[in-house]
Amino acid sequence: MLRALRTLIERQILKARAEGKLSGLAGEGKPLPDRSGEAHVDAGTAAGLHLMAEAGVTPEEFRLKRNWTPRWRTMRP
């Protein structure tokens, strides 16, 4: 099953390359960004967070955590 899926993916990549769909893309010729921090996140969540970051949007839970952390530090004895 995995081999068939791998073959299908490779064929689609080769077809896209032959049709020129893989040239002229943003970031072409540059190294891939370091996304090691996303290793613990499922692919769907990682994609969503990436889209939000590109749009300059911060998830609500990130904003809440950023606001909470300084307050928490002042509460500690």
Q: What is the pTM of this model?
A: 0.43
Q: Percentage helix, strand, coil, to 5, in the chain?
A: 65, 0, 35
pLDDT of residue 48: 86
Contact 5, 11 (CB under 8 A): no
E-state strands within the chain: none
The answer to whether position 46 is within a domain reads yes
pLDDT of residue 12: 95
Low-confidence ranges of the chain (pLDDT < 50): none
The answer to whether position 17 is within a domain reads no
CA–CA separation, 43 and 49 (whole Å): 10
The answer to whether position 2 is within a domain reads no
pLDDT of residue 15: 95
The answer to whether position 10 is within a domain reads no
pLDDT of residue 72: 61
pLDDT of residue 77: 58
Contact 25, 32 (CB under 8 A): no
Total structural domains within the chain: 1
pLDDT of residue 76: 60
- Domain containing 74: what range? 41-77
pLDDT of residue 26: 85
